[in-house]
Amino acid sequence: MALLEVKNVKKIYTTRFGGSQVEALRNVSFSVEPGEYVAIMGESGSGKTTLLNILAGLDRPTAGRVYLKGNDLARVKEKEMAAFRRQNLGFVFQDFNLLDTFSLRDNIFLPLVLSGKKYPEMECRLEPVAAKLGIAGILGKYPYEVSGGQKQRAAVARAVITRPQLILADEPTGALDSRASDELLRMFAQLNRDGQTILMVTHSVKAASTAGRVLFIKDGEVFHQLYRGSLANEQLYQKISDTLTVLATGGERR
């Protein structure tokens, strides 16, 4: 059974006074199998963020269904949504979304605290995660005291510490320099090899080329998809670039 199933999702935004309507997603369908590493690509305004918000349960689709492990997200009650998201999803954002009020350790603990976990258990969970992400030495520091790469690694630690079914990453390399980006992508690949399912939205070809599968969204629809197969990162990079060129120059639909 697919871990995530998106079926004919449609999203229409109505402007504040009900005047004009904007179609952000027209008809999106795809699924993600357990252990997969999927990248979703598209230009600004293609509906990537809307899609991610819907997958994250932050927004509801106008039509269509989203299933996580067979659970219909639309059926989850408003009250239980926060807990549901905490238990099943991990998030990594472009701008890290770390709180300056917390040390890195407390930032990572945040979802566990919200779930009512005991302190010793949190410590137990943190140790291996911090070691894997190479932030064990800076856990006591505050976000404003560390570099962007370190911030993003702390954010990844926060996402994985709840042992989520699925990690949703929104432009995770968007605010990083190339070295930090490479490092982060290597960690994503490592996490994926350890069995973590990842869904990443990006418009960085470099980032997408580390994924196992790349979906292209244009004008609110899945336009195309590429499988890594046995390709190396560089080869996948080339294929993605070609696809993007076709997309940009208005090539024929599949």
Partner 1 sequence: MSSRIYARLAVTNIRNNKKTYVPFLLTSVLTVMMYYIMDSLARSRDIGNQNVTTILMLALGILILFSVIFLFYTNSFLIKRRKKELAVYNILGMGKGHIAKMLTVETLLIGASSMALGILGGLVFGRLMHLVLLRLLRHDIGITFRVSGISMVYTVLLFAGIFFLIWLYNLFQVRLASPAELLQGSAAGEREPKTKRILALAGLAALGTGYYLAVVTDNPLEALNTFFVAALLVVIGTYAIFLAGSIAILKALRRRKSFYYKPNHFTVVSGMIYRMKQNAVGLANICILSTMVLVMISTTVSLYAGMDSIMDKRFPYDFGVRVYGTDARAQVDAIVEEELSARGVEEEDGIAYRYGGGAFIRQDARTFTSQASVDYTADGVWEMYFIPLEDYRALENDPTPLAAGQVIVYSAGAPYGENAISVEGQEFQVAKEVRQFKAGARETGDDVTDRLYVVMPDEASILDLGAVNASYGYVRYFDMSGTKADCEDAVWALADRIQAEVPGSLCENRLLSEESFFELYGSLFFIGLYLGIMFLMATVLIIYYKQVSEGFDDRERYRILRKVGMGMREIRRSVRSQVLLVFFLPLLMAVLHVAVAFNVVNKLLVMMNFTDTKLFMGCTAATVLFFALLYAAVFAVTARQYCQIVNE
Strands (E), the chain: 4-14, 21-32, 37-41, 63-68, 71-72, 89-92, 166-170, 197-202, 213-218, 221-227
Number of residues that bind partner 1 (CB under 8 A): 31
Sorted by sequence, the CB contacts under 8 Å of residue 131 that are 6+ apart come out as none
- Choose the binding region for partner 1 from 13-21, 38-46, 118-126, 201-209 (rule: CB under 8 A): 118-126
Minimum CB separation of residue 41 from partner 1 in Å reads 22
Is residue 110 within the footprint of partner 1 (CB under 8 A)? yes
Residue 182 three-state SS: helix
- Choose the binding region for partner 1 from 41-49, 101-109, 124-132, 173-181 (rule: CB under 8 A): 101-109
Here the tokens at position 154 are: 């702390």
- Report yes or no: 8 and 27 within 8 Å, Cβ to Cβ: yes
Is residue 91 within the footprint of partner 1 (CB under 8 A)? yes
Contact flags string 26-45 toward partner 1, x per CB under 8 A: --------------------
Q: For 15-59, what is the HEC assignment?
A: CCCCCCEEEEEEEEEEEECCCCEEEEECCCCCCHHHHHHHHCCCC
Which of 7, 26, 65, 86 touches partner 1 (CB under 8 A)?
86
Contact flags string 121-150 toward partner 1, x per CB under 8 A: -x-------------------x-x------
Is residue 119 within the footprint of partner 1 (CB under 8 A)? yes
Which of 2, 12, 76, 83 touches partner 1 (CB under 8 A)?
83
Which of 22, 63, 74, 113 touches partner 1 (CB under 8 A)?
113
Question: What is the number of helices (H) and of strands (E) in the chain?
Answer: 8, 10
Minimum CB separation of residue 100 from partner 1 in Å reads 6
Is residue 250 within the footprint of partner 1 (CB under 8 A)? no
Is residue 63 within the footprint of partner 1 (CB under 8 A)? no
Residue type, 86: R
Q: Closest Cα partner for 57 from 28, 80, 24?
A: 80
Is residue 158 within the footprint of partner 1 (CB under 8 A)? yes
- Report yes or no: 32 and 1 within 8 Å, Cβ to Cβ: no
Residue type, 144: Y
Is residue 92 within the footprint of partner 1 (CB under 8 A)? no
Q: What angle do CA 161, 165, 167 make, to 5 degrees?
A: 70
Which of 2, 12, 76, 81 touches partner 1 (CB under 8 A)?
81
- Residues of the shown chain interacting with partner 1 in the complex, contacts defined by CB under 8 A: 56, 58, 78-79, 81-83, 85-86, 89, 91, 93, 97-102, 106, 109-111, 113-114, 116, 118-119, 122, 142, 144, 158
